[in-house]
Amino acid sequence: MRPRLRNALSALLIALACLLVPFGVLAAWATYGRNVRLPRLRHQLTDPYVPFEVAGFWLPVTALALAAAGIAVAVCRRRAVTATSLGTALGGAFLGLAVALGRHLTLADLHARHRPAAGAIYDTLTATLRTVSWLLVALGLTAAAATWLTARYARRRQASAAPVADPAPRSTRVRA
């Protein structure tokens, strides 16, 4: 496969993986605490939470598979890992922003007297989501920093291991 095509395919797979991470976390959160076993198939088909249950499992798995495939196809794997980790951190930041924006929009329509109680309930329900968003940001930035540091170390090591040219040989003739 040509390097340009491999780079383009790698970038596409990594971008898809980074986009799916926050959606998978949101879908998993939407079904948090629900009983997975539903008594009847008809109820499964009409239950609005079933797609979230399915997406809550398969979106993160798909994101992980796409990220691994993108890194495996990449010409420069270190850059691919860096891009994946930065994308994961960005996805986690967007997830945290979405939770904060959702809190603001939810509490904006309530009467001032009910806002503290509703805010406490909202914070309780979204505590796991906020924790996961911070975890995604922290892990993504840590992985990006680690790949950056290993790249610097590898460059330094390559430069010091480069062969040194021998000095010009001395002439053995005697000049008169």
Looking at residue 144, its pLDDT comes to 93
What percent of the chain shows pLDDT beyond 70?
Answer: 60
**pLDDT of 13 higher than 50:** yes
Q: What is the pLDDT of residues 63-79, one digit of tens each?
A: 888 888 888 888 888 88
Give the pTM: 0.63
Helix axes 77-108 and 127-161, enclosed angle (nearest 10): 160
How far, in whole angstroms, is CA 89 from its chain's centroid? 5
Looking at residue 103, its pLDDT comes to 87
Q: What span, in angstroms and rounded, lies between the C-alpha atoms of 123 and 99?
A: 9
What percent of the chain shows pLDDT beyond 90?
Answer: 12
Average pLDDT taken over every residue of the chain: 76
3 state SS of 35: coil
**pLDDT of 33 higher than 50:** no
Between residues 75 and 15, the one the model is more confident about:
75
Q: What span, in angstroms and rounded, lies between the C-alpha atoms of 84 and 19?
A: 10
Instruction: Tell me phi and psi for residue 50, to 5 degrees.
Output: -60, -45
